[in-house]
Structure 1
Protein backbone atom coordinates (compact mmCIF):
# COMPACT_ATOMS: atom_id res chain seq x y z
CA UNK A 1 0.00 0.00 0.00
CA UNK A 2 2.86 2.40 0.76
CA UNK A 3 4.15 2.41 -2.82
CA UNK A 4 0.63 2.87 -4.22
CA UNK A 5 0.01 5.76 -1.86
CA UNK A 6 3.19 7.51 -2.92
CA UNK A 7 2.17 7.24 -6.56
CA UNK A 8 -1.39 8.45 -6.00
CA UNK A 9 -1.04 11.40 -3.64
CA UNK A 10 -0.23 14.78 -5.13
CA UNK A 11 2.87 15.77 -3.18
CA UNK A 12 3.68 19.39 -2.26
CA UNK A 13 5.65 21.14 -4.97
CA UNK A 14 4.06 19.13 -7.78
CA UNK A 15 1.33 20.69 -9.88
CA UNK A 16 -0.24 24.03 -9.11
CA UNK A 17 -1.71 23.27 -5.68
CA UNK A 18 -0.44 24.81 -2.46
CA UNK A 19 -0.82 22.56 0.57
CA UNK A 20 -2.43 23.80 3.77
CA UNK A 21 0.08 24.03 6.64
CA UNK A 22 -0.60 21.49 9.38
CA UNK A 23 -2.02 23.16 12.50
CA UNK A 24 -0.32 22.38 15.80
CA UNK A 25 -3.25 20.89 17.68
CA UNK A 26 -3.33 18.11 20.24
CA UNK A 27 -6.13 15.88 21.44
CA UNK A 28 -7.53 14.74 18.10
CA UNK A 29 -6.87 11.75 15.84
CA UNK A 30 -3.63 12.16 13.83
CA UNK A 31 -4.28 13.90 10.52
CA UNK A 32 -7.53 15.55 11.61
CA UNK A 33 -5.70 18.64 12.88
CA UNK A 34 -6.52 20.36 9.57
CA UNK A 35 -10.24 20.07 10.29
CA UNK A 36 -9.99 21.91 13.63
CA UNK A 37 -9.39 25.32 12.01
CA UNK A 38 -11.67 25.23 8.94
CA UNK A 39 -15.41 25.46 8.40
CA UNK A 40 -15.52 24.56 4.70
CA UNK A 41 -13.98 21.96 2.40
CA UNK A 42 -14.18 22.09 -1.38
CA UNK A 43 -14.10 18.66 -3.00
CA UNK A 44 -13.40 18.23 -6.70
CA UNK A 45 -13.36 14.91 -8.51
CA UNK A 46 -10.45 14.47 -10.88
CA UNK A 47 -11.16 13.89 -14.57
CA UNK A 48 -9.89 10.53 -15.82
CA UNK A 49 -9.01 10.74 -19.53
CA UNK A 50 -9.30 6.97 -20.00
CA UNK A 51 -12.82 7.06 -18.58
CA UNK A 52 -13.75 10.12 -20.65
CA UNK A 53 -12.70 8.43 -23.92
CA UNK A 54 -13.84 4.86 -23.22
CA UNK A 55 -16.81 5.25 -20.89
CA UNK A 56 -15.32 2.55 -18.64
CA UNK A 57 -15.77 3.59 -15.02
CA UNK A 58 -12.43 4.16 -13.27
CA UNK A 59 -11.73 4.46 -9.56
CA UNK A 60 -12.70 7.92 -8.37
CA UNK A 61 -10.12 10.41 -7.10
CA UNK A 62 -10.79 13.69 -5.34
CA UNK A 63 -8.81 16.78 -4.38
CA UNK A 64 -9.95 18.56 -1.19
CA UNK A 65 -9.08 22.20 -0.55
CA UNK A 66 -9.92 24.86 2.00
CA UNK A 67 -11.63 28.15 1.19
CA UNK A 68 -8.24 29.71 0.29
CA UNK A 69 -7.53 27.04 -2.31
CA UNK A 70 -4.90 25.24 -0.25
CA UNK A 71 -5.03 21.46 -0.60
CA UNK A 72 -6.06 19.72 2.63
CA UNK A 73 -6.49 16.09 1.58
CA UNK A 74 -6.43 13.81 -1.44
CA UNK A 75 -8.84 10.86 -1.67
CA UNK A 76 -8.90 7.81 -3.88
CA UNK A 77 -11.34 4.95 -4.23
CA UNK A 78 -10.52 1.30 -3.80
CA UNK A 79 -13.02 -1.01 -5.54
CA UNK A 80 -13.07 -3.99 -7.86
CA UNK A 81 -13.39 -3.68 -11.64
CA UNK A 82 -16.32 -6.10 -11.71
CA UNK A 83 -18.05 -4.06 -9.01
CA UNK A 84 -17.65 -0.86 -11.02
CA UNK A 85 -18.76 -2.44 -14.31
CA UNK A 86 -21.68 -4.47 -12.97
CA UNK A 87 -22.90 -2.51 -9.95
CA UNK A 88 -22.07 1.09 -10.87
CA UNK A 89 -23.15 3.46 -8.07
CA UNK A 90 -24.38 0.52 -5.96
CA UNK A 91 -20.89 -0.92 -5.58
CA UNK A 92 -19.00 -1.41 -2.37
CA UNK A 93 -15.99 0.84 -1.96
CA UNK A 94 -13.29 2.01 0.40
CA UNK A 95 -12.29 5.67 0.18
CA UNK A 96 -8.75 6.38 1.35
CA UNK A 97 -8.16 9.99 2.44
CA UNK A 98 -4.51 11.06 2.62
CA UNK A 99 -2.81 14.07 4.18
CA UNK A 100 0.04 16.12 2.69
CA UNK A 101 2.59 13.57 3.90
CA UNK A 102 0.90 10.80 1.92
CA UNK A 103 -0.38 9.17 5.12
CA UNK A 104 -3.88 7.73 5.19
CA UNK A 105 -5.70 9.62 7.94
CA UNK A 106 -9.37 8.84 7.21
CA UNK A 107 -10.96 5.73 5.72
CA UNK A 108 -14.58 5.56 4.53
CA UNK A 109 -16.07 2.13 3.85
CA UNK A 110 -19.37 1.14 2.31
CA UNK A 111 -20.22 -2.57 2.07
CA UNK A 112 -22.08 -4.08 -0.85
CA UNK A 113 -25.79 -4.42 -0.07
CA UNK A 114 -28.43 -6.13 -2.17
CA UNK A 115 -31.85 -4.44 -2.40
CA UNK A 116 -30.70 -1.40 -0.43
CA UNK A 117 -31.45 2.26 -1.06
CA UNK A 118 -35.26 2.44 -1.16
CA UNK A 119 -36.12 5.00 1.53
CA UNK A 120 -39.66 3.63 1.88
CA UNK A 121 -38.50 0.13 2.83
CA UNK A 122 -36.11 1.10 5.60
CA UNK A 123 -37.07 0.12 9.13
CA UNK A 124 -34.64 1.16 11.81
CA UNK A 125 -31.16 0.15 10.67
CA UNK A 126 -32.01 -2.92 8.60
CA UNK A 127 -30.33 -4.23 5.47
CA UNK A 128 -32.32 -1.90 3.22
CA UNK A 129 -30.41 1.12 4.51
CA UNK A 130 -27.13 2.18 2.95
CA UNK A 131 -24.46 2.80 5.56
CA UNK A 132 -20.83 3.79 5.79
CA UNK A 133 -18.16 3.55 8.47
CA UNK A 134 -15.61 6.31 9.03
CA UNK A 135 -12.27 5.46 10.64
CA UNK A 136 -9.54 7.87 11.78
CA UNK A 137 -6.91 6.60 11.77
CA UNK A 138 -7.75 3.44 9.75
CA UNK A 139 -8.85 0.68 12.11
CA UNK A 140 -10.33 3.12 14.63
CA UNK A 141 -14.05 3.83 13.97
CA UNK A 142 -15.04 7.39 14.86
CA UNK A 143 -18.47 7.57 13.24
CA UNK A 144 -21.16 6.04 11.09
CA UNK A 145 -23.76 7.33 8.65
CA UNK A 146 -26.85 5.33 7.72
CA UNK A 147 -29.81 6.03 5.51
CA UNK A 148 -33.09 6.74 7.28
CA UNK A 149 -36.69 5.93 6.45
CA UNK A 150 -38.51 8.72 4.62
CA UNK A 151 -41.55 9.05 2.40
CA UNK A 152 -39.99 11.35 -0.17
CA UNK A 153 -36.94 13.40 0.81
CA UNK A 154 -33.57 11.66 1.46
CA UNK A 155 -32.69 11.38 5.15
CA UNK A 156 -29.56 10.19 6.95
CA UNK A 157 -28.47 9.78 10.54
CA UNK A 158 -24.95 10.60 11.68
CA UNK A 159 -23.64 8.58 14.63
CA UNK A 160 -20.61 8.77 16.89
CA UNK A 161 -18.20 5.91 17.59
CA UNK A 162 -20.72 4.38 20.05
CA UNK A 163 -23.48 4.46 17.42
CA UNK A 164 -25.41 7.22 19.18
CA UNK A 165 -27.27 9.60 16.85
CA UNK A 166 -25.62 13.02 16.99
CA UNK A 167 -26.67 14.75 13.75
CA UNK A 168 -29.04 14.24 10.83
CA UNK A 169 -28.92 15.09 7.14
CA UNK A 170 -31.88 16.04 4.98
CA UNK A 171 -31.91 16.23 1.19
CA UNK A 172 -34.23 17.80 -1.40
CA UNK A 173 -37.19 16.07 -3.07
CA UNK A 174 -35.30 15.84 -6.36
CA UNK A 175 -31.56 15.49 -5.66
CA UNK A 176 -30.46 15.54 -9.28
CA UNK A 177 -28.91 17.78 -11.89
CA UNK A 178 -29.54 17.37 -15.59
CA UNK A 179 -29.44 19.48 -18.70
CA UNK A 180 -33.17 19.10 -19.31
CA UNK A 181 -34.37 19.38 -15.71
CA UNK A 182 -32.91 20.73 -12.52
CA UNK A 183 -29.85 22.94 -12.70
CA UNK A 184 -28.03 24.79 -9.94
CA UNK A 185 -26.50 23.55 -6.72
CA UNK A 186 -28.16 20.69 -4.80
CA UNK A 187 -28.05 20.96 -1.01
CA UNK A 188 -28.12 18.23 1.63
CA UNK A 189 -28.42 20.06 4.94
CA UNK A 190 -26.91 19.10 8.31
CA UNK A 191 -29.06 19.40 11.44
CA UNK A 192 -28.20 19.20 15.13
CA UNK A 193 -30.23 17.18 17.61
CA UNK A 194 -32.31 20.31 18.24
CA UNK A 195 -33.29 20.44 14.55
CA UNK A 196 -31.30 23.61 13.83
CA UNK A 197 -29.37 23.66 10.55
CA UNK A 198 -25.59 23.77 11.09
CA UNK A 199 -24.17 23.22 7.61
CA UNK A 200 -24.54 21.31 4.37
CA UNK A 201 -22.97 19.27 1.63
CA UNK A 202 -23.74 20.83 -1.74
CA UNK A 203 -23.31 19.36 -5.21
CA UNK A 204 -22.02 22.28 -7.24
CA UNK A 205 -23.47 22.97 -10.68
CA UNK A 206 -20.44 23.25 -13.00
CA UNK A 207 -22.26 24.64 -16.01
CA UNK A 208 -24.09 22.97 -18.88
CA UNK A 209 -21.04 22.00 -20.96
CA UNK A 210 -19.06 20.49 -18.09
CA UNK A 211 -22.09 18.64 -16.71
CA UNK A 212 -22.85 17.13 -20.13
CA UNK A 213 -19.36 16.14 -21.22
CA UNK A 214 -17.36 15.40 -18.06
CA UNK A 215 -17.94 13.03 -15.19
CA UNK A 216 -16.08 15.06 -12.56
CA UNK A 217 -18.31 16.25 -9.71
CA UNK A 218 -17.67 19.15 -7.36
CA UNK A 219 -18.95 19.49 -3.79
CA UNK A 220 -18.79 22.00 -0.96
CA UNK A 221 -18.98 20.74 2.63
CA UNK A 222 -19.64 23.34 5.35
CA UNK A 223 -19.93 22.96 9.12
CA UNK A 224 -19.32 25.07 12.25
CA UNK A 225 -15.64 25.70 12.93
CA UNK A 226 -16.08 24.59 16.55
CA UNK A 227 -17.85 21.33 15.68
CA UNK A 228 -16.23 18.22 17.11
CA UNK A 229 -13.44 17.19 14.74
CA UNK A 230 -14.65 13.58 14.62
CA UNK A 231 -18.09 14.77 13.52
CA UNK A 232 -16.47 16.92 10.83
CA UNK A 233 -14.64 13.87 9.48
CA UNK A 234 -17.87 11.85 9.61
CA UNK A 235 -19.75 14.53 7.65
CA UNK A 236 -16.95 14.49 5.09
CA UNK A 237 -17.50 10.75 4.80
CA UNK A 238 -21.24 11.34 4.39
CA UNK A 239 -20.46 13.35 1.28
CA UNK A 240 -19.12 10.22 -0.43
CA UNK A 241 -22.26 8.25 0.44
CA UNK A 242 -24.41 11.01 -1.05
CA UNK A 243 -22.13 11.27 -4.10
CA UNK A 244 -22.44 7.57 -4.91
CA UNK A 245 -26.16 7.33 -4.18
CA UNK A 246 -27.33 10.33 -6.21
CA UNK A 247 -24.63 11.64 -8.53
CA UNK A 248 -22.45 8.70 -9.56
CA UNK A 249 -25.44 7.35 -11.50
CA UNK A 250 -25.76 10.65 -13.36
CA UNK A 251 -22.14 10.28 -14.39
CA UNK A 252 -22.98 7.05 -16.17
CA UNK A 253 -25.66 8.56 -18.38
Structure 2
Protein backbone atom coordinates (compact mmCIF):
# COMPACT_ATOMS: atom_id res chain seq x y z
CA UNK A 1 0.00 0.00 0.00
CA UNK A 2 1.33 3.44 -0.93
CA UNK A 3 1.80 6.03 1.82
CA UNK A 4 -0.29 9.23 1.77
CA UNK A 5 0.77 11.79 -0.80
CA UNK A 6 0.09 12.88 -4.37
CA UNK A 7 -1.04 10.14 -6.75
CA UNK A 8 1.72 10.51 -9.35
CA UNK A 9 0.24 7.81 -11.58
CA UNK A 10 -2.44 10.35 -12.54
CA UNK A 11 0.20 12.56 -14.19
CA UNK A 12 2.29 11.82 -17.26
CA UNK A 13 4.08 15.18 -17.10
CA UNK A 14 5.30 17.00 -13.99
CA UNK A 15 7.44 20.04 -13.32
CA UNK A 16 9.93 20.60 -10.50
CA UNK A 17 10.80 24.25 -9.85
CA UNK A 18 13.55 25.30 -7.52
CA UNK A 19 12.72 28.19 -5.24
CA UNK A 20 15.06 31.16 -5.44
CA UNK A 21 16.76 32.80 -2.47
CA UNK A 22 18.46 36.18 -2.63
CA UNK A 23 21.79 34.88 -1.29
CA UNK A 24 22.25 32.78 -4.43
CA UNK A 25 22.70 35.94 -6.50
CA UNK A 26 25.94 36.46 -4.57
CA UNK A 27 27.30 32.93 -5.00
CA UNK A 28 26.16 31.73 -1.57
CA UNK A 29 24.77 28.19 -1.71
CA UNK A 30 21.54 27.86 0.29
CA UNK A 31 19.35 24.88 1.19
CA UNK A 32 17.58 23.48 -1.84
CA UNK A 33 13.82 23.96 -1.94
CA UNK A 34 11.51 22.80 -4.73
CA UNK A 35 7.87 23.05 -5.77
CA UNK A 36 6.34 20.02 -7.53
CA UNK A 37 3.64 20.81 -10.10
CA UNK A 38 1.39 18.96 -12.50
CA UNK A 39 1.49 20.05 -16.15
CA UNK A 40 -1.73 22.00 -15.49
CA UNK A 41 0.02 24.06 -12.82
CA UNK A 42 -1.69 22.23 -9.94
CA UNK A 43 0.54 21.98 -6.89
CA UNK A 44 1.41 18.39 -6.04
CA UNK A 45 3.75 19.18 -3.18
CA UNK A 46 7.09 20.54 -2.07
CA UNK A 47 10.55 19.24 -1.27
CA UNK A 48 13.20 20.81 0.95
CA UNK A 49 16.72 20.00 2.01
CA UNK A 50 16.83 19.86 5.80
CA UNK A 51 19.11 22.26 7.62
CA UNK A 52 21.94 21.08 9.86
CA UNK A 53 22.95 24.32 11.56
CA UNK A 54 26.24 26.11 11.04
CA UNK A 55 28.16 22.91 10.26
CA UNK A 56 25.69 22.01 7.51
CA UNK A 57 25.97 25.52 6.10
CA UNK A 58 29.76 25.24 5.94
CA UNK A 59 29.69 21.78 4.37
CA UNK A 60 27.27 23.00 1.70
CA UNK A 61 29.72 25.72 0.66
CA UNK A 62 32.84 23.53 0.83
CA UNK A 63 31.75 20.05 -0.29
CA UNK A 64 28.89 20.80 -2.67
CA UNK A 65 27.05 17.65 -3.78
CA UNK A 66 29.51 15.36 -1.94
CA UNK A 67 28.03 16.46 1.40
CA UNK A 68 25.54 14.38 3.33
CA UNK A 69 21.99 15.71 3.16
CA UNK A 70 18.32 14.80 3.45
CA UNK A 71 15.43 15.84 1.21
CA UNK A 72 11.93 15.75 2.67
CA UNK A 73 8.87 15.72 0.41
CA UNK A 74 5.54 17.22 1.51
CA UNK A 75 1.99 17.42 0.22
CA UNK A 76 0.52 20.93 -0.31
CA UNK A 77 -0.95 20.70 3.23
CA UNK A 78 2.54 19.98 4.67
CA UNK A 79 2.19 16.23 5.28
CA UNK A 80 5.46 14.37 4.67
CA UNK A 81 5.09 11.61 2.06
CA UNK A 82 8.69 10.79 1.10
CA UNK A 83 12.24 11.20 2.35
CA UNK A 84 15.59 10.82 0.56
CA UNK A 85 18.98 10.67 2.26
CA UNK A 86 22.44 11.08 0.74
CA UNK A 87 25.37 9.77 2.82
CA UNK A 88 28.79 11.39 2.45
CA UNK A 89 31.14 9.60 0.08
CA UNK A 90 33.57 10.57 -2.68
CA UNK A 91 32.73 7.66 -5.01
CA UNK A 92 29.61 5.68 -5.87
CA UNK A 93 27.33 8.33 -4.45
CA UNK A 94 23.74 7.33 -3.88
CA UNK A 95 20.37 8.66 -2.79
CA UNK A 96 18.35 6.33 -0.54
CA UNK A 97 14.58 6.85 -0.88
CA UNK A 98 11.81 5.96 1.58
CA UNK A 99 8.13 6.76 1.75
CA UNK A 100 6.68 8.82 4.59
CA UNK A 101 6.24 5.72 6.74
CA UNK A 102 9.87 4.61 6.42
CA UNK A 103 9.26 1.91 3.83
CA UNK A 104 12.14 1.61 1.36
CA UNK A 105 11.34 2.62 -2.23
CA UNK A 106 14.82 2.15 -3.67
CA UNK A 107 18.08 3.93 -4.44
CA UNK A 108 19.48 6.23 -7.10
CA UNK A 109 23.17 5.39 -7.62
CA UNK A 110 25.66 7.47 -9.58
CA UNK A 111 27.93 5.23 -11.65
CA UNK A 112 31.47 5.99 -12.68
CA UNK A 113 31.79 7.44 -16.16
CA UNK A 114 34.01 9.95 -17.95
CA UNK A 115 32.15 10.73 -21.18
CA UNK A 116 28.57 10.35 -19.98
CA UNK A 117 26.31 10.96 -17.01
CA UNK A 118 25.30 7.56 -15.66
CA UNK A 119 22.83 6.52 -12.98
CA UNK A 120 21.09 3.33 -11.97
CA UNK A 121 17.79 3.07 -10.12
CA UNK A 122 17.40 0.12 -7.76
CA UNK A 123 14.20 -1.12 -6.20
CA UNK A 124 13.87 -1.93 -2.50
CA UNK A 125 15.14 -5.49 -3.13
CA UNK A 126 18.36 -4.29 -4.78
CA UNK A 127 17.37 -5.01 -8.40
CA UNK A 128 18.33 -2.56 -11.16
CA UNK A 129 15.06 -1.31 -12.61
CA UNK A 130 16.17 1.68 -14.68
CA UNK A 131 19.40 3.09 -16.07
CA UNK A 132 20.47 6.49 -17.32
CA UNK A 133 23.33 7.10 -19.72
CA UNK A 134 23.40 10.63 -21.11
CA UNK A 135 26.40 11.91 -23.13
CA UNK A 136 28.16 14.95 -21.73
CA UNK A 137 27.19 17.10 -24.73
CA UNK A 138 23.49 16.60 -23.88
CA UNK A 139 23.92 18.36 -20.59
CA UNK A 140 20.23 18.95 -19.86
CA UNK A 141 18.61 15.65 -20.90
CA UNK A 142 18.46 12.47 -18.81
CA UNK A 143 16.68 9.48 -20.43
CA UNK A 144 15.60 6.71 -18.02
CA UNK A 145 15.67 3.33 -19.77
CA UNK A 146 13.81 0.23 -18.61
CA UNK A 147 14.65 -3.09 -20.27
CA UNK A 148 16.02 -1.26 -23.29
CA UNK A 149 13.00 1.01 -23.73
CA UNK A 150 12.51 4.66 -22.83
CA UNK A 151 10.44 4.82 -19.64
CA UNK A 152 10.83 8.49 -18.68
CA UNK A 153 12.85 11.61 -19.46
CA UNK A 154 14.05 14.27 -17.04
CA UNK A 155 14.95 17.57 -18.73
CA UNK A 156 16.30 20.81 -17.35
CA UNK A 157 14.50 23.86 -18.73
CA UNK A 158 16.29 27.06 -19.75
CA UNK A 159 15.41 29.88 -17.31
CA UNK A 160 17.36 32.77 -18.83
CA UNK A 161 21.00 33.80 -18.99
CA UNK A 162 21.05 35.93 -15.84
CA UNK A 163 19.42 33.29 -13.67
CA UNK A 164 21.57 30.50 -15.09
CA UNK A 165 24.73 32.51 -14.38
CA UNK A 166 24.02 33.65 -10.85
CA UNK A 167 21.46 31.38 -9.21
CA UNK A 168 20.46 27.74 -8.89
CA UNK A 169 16.85 28.45 -9.83
CA UNK A 170 16.33 25.41 -12.04
CA UNK A 171 13.18 24.01 -13.58
CA UNK A 172 12.95 20.34 -14.56
CA UNK A 173 10.29 18.44 -16.41
CA UNK A 174 9.55 14.77 -15.76
CA UNK A 175 7.91 13.13 -18.75
CA UNK A 176 6.57 9.61 -18.22
CA UNK A 177 6.74 7.57 -21.43
CA UNK A 178 5.72 4.22 -19.92
CA UNK A 179 2.19 4.46 -18.45
CA UNK A 180 2.63 1.14 -16.61
CA UNK A 181 5.19 2.55 -14.15
CA UNK A 182 4.10 1.91 -10.57
CA UNK A 183 3.45 4.63 -8.02
CA UNK A 184 6.62 3.66 -6.12
CA UNK A 185 8.73 3.92 -9.26
CA UNK A 186 7.27 7.32 -10.13
CA UNK A 187 8.18 8.56 -6.68
CA UNK A 188 11.68 7.21 -7.14
CA UNK A 189 11.87 9.11 -10.45
CA UNK A 190 10.77 12.29 -8.70
CA UNK A 191 13.57 11.90 -6.16
CA UNK A 192 16.01 11.18 -9.01
CA UNK A 193 15.06 14.44 -10.76
CA UNK A 194 16.01 16.45 -7.67
CA UNK A 195 19.20 14.41 -7.31
CA UNK A 196 20.15 15.28 -10.90
CA UNK A 197 19.79 18.96 -10.04
CA UNK A 198 22.00 18.72 -6.96
CA UNK A 199 24.63 16.57 -8.66
CA UNK A 200 25.03 18.57 -11.88
CA UNK A 201 23.59 22.06 -11.50
CA UNK A 202 24.55 23.34 -8.07
CA UNK A 203 27.08 26.13 -8.52
CA UNK A 204 29.40 24.74 -5.83
CA UNK A 205 29.30 21.31 -7.42
CA UNK A 206 30.41 22.71 -10.74
CA UNK A 207 33.17 24.98 -9.40
* Equivalenced residues, count: 202
| Residues 107, 138 of structure 1: 8 Å contact kept | no
| Residues 44, 62 of structure 1: 8 Å contact kept | yes
Deviation at 1:225, TM superposition (A): 3.5
| Residues 170, 189 of structure 1: 8 Å contact kept | yes
Deviates more, 1:62-71 or 1:136-145: 136-145
Q: Distance in 1 between matches of 2:66 and 2:45?
A: 25
Match of 1:207 in 2: 160
Match of 1:100 in 2: 76
SS of the aligned residue for 1:69 comes to: coil
Higher Cα radius of gyration: 1
Match of 1:228 in 2: 182
Instruction: Pick closer, same or farther for the CA change 1:111–1:170 going to 2, 3 Å.
Output: same
Q: Which structure 1 segments of 5+ residues have no match?
A: 1-26, 117-127, 177-185
Q: Distance in 2 between matches of 1:207 and 1:55?
A: 17
Instruction: Pick closer, same or farther for the CA change 1:104–1:164 going to 2, 3 Å.
Output: same
Deviation at 1:207, TM superposition (A): 2.3
SS of the aligned residue for 2:199 comes to: helix
Q: Which has the higher strand share?
A: 2
Match of 2:11 in 1: 38
Q: 1:69 aligns with which of 31, 41, 51?
A: 41
Match of 1:137 in 2: 100
Deviation at 1:129, TM superposition (A): 0.8
SS of the aligned residue for 2:62 comes to: helix
Q: Does 1:59 align with 2:34?
A: no
Deviation at 1:151, TM superposition (A): 4.6
Deviation at 1:243, TM superposition (A): 1.2
Relative to the length of structure 2, the TM-score reads 0.89
Deviation at 1:85, TM superposition (A): 2.0
Q: Distance in 2 between matches of 1:215 and 1:173?
A: 20
SS of the aligned residue for 1:171 comes to: strand
Match of 1:156 in 2: 119
Deviation at 1:175, TM superposition (A): 5.4
- Equivalent residues in 2 for 1:101-116 (5 A)? 101-113=77-89, 116=90
Higher relative contact order structure (alpha carbons within 8 Å, sequence separation ≥ 6): 2
Q: 1:197 aligns with which of 147, 150, 153?
A: 150
Deviation at 1:42, TM superposition (A): 0.2
Q: Distance in 1 between matches of 2:7 and 2:76?
A: 10
Q: 1:244 aligns with which of 176, 198, 206?
A: 198
Q: Distance in 2 between matches of 1:55 and 1:229?
A: 37
Q: Distance in 2 between matches of 1:248 and 1:108?
A: 18
Q: Which structure 2 segments of 5+ residues have no match?
A: none
Q: Distance in 1 between matches of 2:185 and 2:166?
A: 35
Q: Distance in 2 between matches of 1:233 and 1:211?
A: 27
Match of 1:168 in 2: 131
